[in-house]
Structure 1
């Protein structure tokens, strides 16, 4: 039986960075199939790194990520996974998905699952380490429902075939829907959360 992980990541006190946790909370009202393990990891990067080593064929991370689109635009990204163990242990703190993937590769001898990132372009993120900005901006708040709808399309397709990439609209065609990802950058999320 195929199963998959849906992981919300982000800091609820840093404005639009709370997108991932808000999507996971919205899924409580509209649950995914039982084969999908849905969990909010918040800023617990170490916990997520260990979870990724638990034999999942595929994991979908839900996160806010700056990709140069209009705020609230959703994109689907498949980041390149680290190959082999890095010479030095990666940073174990924070929740940058690229750093979490590097940490998971360092911790486990087993292959990482296929990882997809359902990313939302943030509109407002705090600028300093001390800034606290609870609550989502209007465009990102509107994107939460679209992300839930996108997951309800993606998850059944991935459960049927973990190697499929669900066909999604491009951002140039519409302001709101999920867009197929461009080649990923080195980091798919905010630098440190």
Structure 2
């Protein structure tokens, strides 16, 4: 990948495995993680509006890291290229301007509106590194299978940002954790 890259951890640390994205970007931010200068890693958590405004700074690629229920075994990692118009992927859901409950889908819908108003451009490429959750109930901490998937998710993100070109993936790739 070339150009500026934003890696954004999404999720609520008070809802068990929903904190997967936040924990993964925390690990990516640790000293010695080999991040190039053109890569920015941020913990967005549940602040979807913050992500929309952050993207106005101009990024070529957005990598969202989030819990992603797709029917696999808990801890299964998914690498998904989000394309506009793909059924069920990044289609706006619910009220777009509820700043406390904005899904990544709603953020990207809001981003298009913001870019139209400011003359900015949305990321050319959007990738999702997702993990199949085991438990999304109230509580702090990841389940064992999701916690075990975090180091592999970190490796996946590092591979994405260190690989040149766009031959990384087609529509979706699955990677079993452990």
TM-score by length of 2: 0.81
1:50, distance to aligned residue in structure 2 (A): 1.1
The CA RMSD over aligned residues, in Å, is 2.3
**Number of aligned residues:** 161
Q: Mean alpha-carbon deviation: is it higher for 38-47 or for 98-107?
A: 98-107
1:111, distance to aligned residue in structure 2 (A): 3.0
Q: Mean alpha-carbon deviation: is it higher for 96-105 or for 30-39?
A: 30-39
Q: Which residues of structure 2 form unaligned runs of 5+?
A: 86-91
Q: Is 1:38 aligned with 2:24?
A: no
Q: Is 1:52 aligned with 2:59?
A: no
1:97, distance to aligned residue in structure 2 (A): 1.0
Contact map agreement 1:4 1:56 (CA 8 A) in 2: yes
1:165, distance to aligned residue in structure 2 (A): 4.5
**Aligned with 1:37: secondary structure?**
strand
Contact map agreement 2:29 2:41 (CA 8 A) in 1: no
Contact map agreement 2:96 2:102 (CA 8 A) in 1: no
Distance 1:80 1:146 in 2: 24
> Which residue is equivalent to 1:153?
159
**Aligned with 2:176: secondary structure?**
coil
Change (3 A) 1:104 1:170: closer
Contact map agreement 2:66 2:129 (CA 8 A) in 1: yes
Contact map agreement 1:60 1:116 (CA 8 A) in 2: yes
**Regions of 4+ moved over 3 Å:** 167-171
Deviations 1:162-192 (A, max 9, x none): xx15259954xx7327xxxxxxxxxxxxxxx
> Which residue is equivalent to 2:122?
112
TM-score by length of 1: 0.75
Distance 1:104 1:165 in 2: 26
1:25, distance to aligned residue in structure 2 (A): 1.1
> Which residue is equivalent to 1:180?
none
1:96, distance to aligned residue in structure 2 (A): 1.2
Distance 1:58 1:153 in 2: 14
Contact map agreement 2:78 2:130 (CA 8 A) in 1: yes
Change (3 A) 1:95 1:120: farther
Contact map agreement 2:8 2:63 (CA 8 A) in 1: yes
Distance 1:165 1:112 in 2: 21
Contact map agreement 1:10 1:95 (CA 8 A) in 2: no
Distance 1:7 1:135 in 2: 19
